[in-house]
Structure formats: structure tokens, C-alpha cells
Amino acid sequence: MQKLNKNHYAIIMAGGIGSRFWPWSKKSFPKQFLDIMGTGQTLLQLTYSRFKNIVPQENIYIISNEVYTPLIQEQLPEINSDNIIKEPQAMNTAPCVLYATSKIHAKNKDAVCVFAPSDHLILKEKTFIDTTIAGLEFAEKENTLVTIGITPNRPDTGYGYIQFLTNKQNQFAHKVKTFTEKPDLELAQTFIESGDFLWNAGIFIWASKTILNAFEIFQPDLFKLFKDGNKFYNSNEEQDYIRKIYPQTKNISIDYAIMEKADNVCVIPADLGWSDLGTWKSLFEVREKTMENNVIHGDKILVMDTKNSLVLNQEKEKVVVVNGLKNMMVINTEDALLICELNREQEVKLIVNEIKNRYKDKFS
């Protein structure tokens, strides 16, 4: 195995609450801390293990809401406490990226970083490892903001899309032409047929100095907030400073804040066996099926005359019996039961909002 570069860093973004996986994923225990794939490892643990093959282990950081620190330490006991970057509140990915980058840049001005979500599925791990290492090496040499784009295999309205320009001189990375948020089906079909669109996986690679320069140009107020903290990073005063400034930051994504504005953005196309595992249906599509095309997760489940359905039972002392269902999901947890058509899984977020309206945070 090749020696890993000491200037290469991985930052795993683990602050989401995974509300579309309710009621299994809740604000108090989001999906990145769950063994959603039934492998014996949580999504966070799988992501961390993957990056141990890409950067030195001491260069892997987790950034998350500070309330999840005990969960991170429990699931990753080998991680140094200094490598858990604690956000006082959720403020989207731009402040998250700027905070983590500023902290790492204060330690190593030659740092090259890959940012990735903690809760995505990567089936082709070797391809991911090879692509990411090559991307880090590319970003180290070029003044470029790099993203990894997923080769699409269907028109999907649940993903953002990246349009790229064909570059015959360098088939590895292509200049980005446009970013498009989740399109309707007709537009998604057009994208697929054109052959020059990729899914946006939210995986980013850049030298710390390159992304900091982009923030200074396109988000100067945000940049100044974190630049003023340079003397506090990696010290006992860091957390107090971060708690003070975080309420002043913008709730804005890195895509809107930087990627859609900068002109030095490249994309690396890759087929990674990727899913963002954003909904129950996306989980159904990637999990192993029974003869009747059902996905069964948990103990004490009896399924009869049921097809194309997802049945999950989190309780150890209750039997779940499902009879005569098609294209449904039945999700049973300790304090909630969800029964819903699989094709209406996008409505789960609306259901969670209604639950909050009626019962505050008791069940959400």
C-alpha cells in the first residue's frame, strides 16, 4: 500500500438529522449513527473506515453539532478528541466547511482537504479511494475547486446535477459549466440524454488556501468572522470563540456560497456505486431482497403475502406481522409506527413537520 500524504486531510460532515428516515432516525439519534445497511457498522463508521485508506488516520476530522460528540466518541473510540470539530448549531455546509478549513489551515498551510457527508453509501470502495487520492493530488497542483460527480444511470429528480465541459486534453477532471438543483422528470431525462451531466454527490476536494481565497472573494463577511479566529484555533479558546460567532454566520450551502459563483471549479466523473440514502425508498433499492422483493430489517418480523415492501422492526419484545401488502413500508420503533406507500417516501419530511407541530420534539 502506498504511503499516505501527511498534507492530505479528510473532513466528514456528520451534523445532519436525517428527518426523511423518521421514525428510525431522530434528532437525538440521526441516521449517520445507525446501522442502516445491516452490516454491523453505522454509516459514520463505514465512512471513517473508508478514509483511513486515503489520508493518515490522524488527519481525519469529524465536524458535527456539539450535542453529537458523545455519540461520535462512542462509535469511533480511536479518534482523538481534538479531531472532533464541534458546531454550536446547524448552519448549513458553508460555515461548516469554512470552520473546518480555517482550523486545519491554521495547523498546516499546505493542507489539501476532502469534504464528504457521513451518511452516504459507496459500494465501489476501491474506485472511491483511487478517485479521491487522485483528486487530492490534482487539487494540490492546480488552483482548482474540485467536486466528484456521479455517473447517472437514470433520470432522478431527487439529486442535483452538474454539467461539465468535455476536455480532451484532460479526461480526468472537467471544467464545470452549470449546477442545477433537483429538476423535474422531463428536465432530468434531458440531462441524462445529453451525456454531459453528473449527479452532485456533495463531495469536495481543494487546497485549504484555494477555498479560503474563494470565501474571501465571494463571502467576505463570513470569511472575516472565521479569519478573526486564527489566533484561537487548536487552542483552549477555540470553542468559546466559535460559540460567539456562529449565530452571526449565514445559513447557506457551500454550493450556493462558493461553487456556483467561482470560475475555477472542476468535476471528476466517477461510478462509485453511490447513493445518498436520502429516503426510505433509496434504502429499499440498495438493500438485499427476499424472493418476494421485500427488505426485512430487525427481529420478530412475520411477512405473509407481501411484495415489494420494506419492513423494519427496532423493538426486541414486539412481533411485527405484515399480511397482504404491496409497495409499502412499515417502520416500527420504540415510540412510533410509520405505515406509508414506498412511492410517497418524500412525504415523510412533511409528516415529521406535522408531528413537531402536534407533539413538539417528543417524537421527532
> If DSSP codes are grouped into helix, strand and coil, which group holds residue 310?
strand
Give, as one character, the DSSP assignment of residue 257. Answer: I
Q: Are strands 320-323 and 265-270 parallel, antiparallel or unpaired?
A: unpaired
**Percent of the chain residues topping a pLDDT of 90:** 82
Class level of CATH domain 8-275: alpha beta
Q: Per DSSP, what are the bridge partners of residue 230?
A: none
**Single pTM value for the model:** 0.93
Q: Which residue type sits at 200?
A: N
Tell me the average pLDDT across 32-49. 96
- pLDDT tens-digit series, residues 58-72: 999 999 999 999 999
Count of CB atoms within 10 A of residue 339's CB? 11
Backbone angles phi, psi at 328, to 5 degrees: -125, 165
pLDDT band at 104 (very low <50, low <70, confident <90, very high): very high
pLDDT at position 309 over 80:
yes
Nearest alpha carbon to residue 242 among 363, 68, 6, 63: 63
Domain with CATH 3.90.550.10 in the chain: 8-275
The residue behind cell 462512542 is 74
- Answer for the pair 345, 280: CB distance below 8 angstroms, yes or no: yes
Tell me the average pLDDT across 176-203. 88
Q: Which helix (H) or strand (E) holds 164?
A: strand 161-164
- pLDDT tens-digit series, residues 207-260: 999 999 999 999 999 999 999 999 999 999 999 999 999 999 999 999 999 999
What was the pLDDT predicted at 195? 82
DSSP states of 68-117: GHHHHHHH-TTS-GGGEEEESS---HHHHHHHHHHHHHHH-TT-EEEEEE
- How far is residue 343's CA from residue 248's CA, in Å, rounded to a whole number? 40
- pLDDT tens-digit series, residues 338-360: 999 999 988 998 999 999 999 88
- How far is residue 67's CA from residue 72's CA, in Å, rounded to a whole number? 10
Q: Up-side HSE of residue 177: CA atoms within 13 Å toward CB?
A: 8
Long-range contacts of 228-232 (CB under 8 A, 24+ apart): 229/102, 230/102, 230/106
What was the pLDDT predicted at 325? 97
Name the average pLDDT for the chain. 94
Helix/strand number for the chain, H first, E second: 11, 17
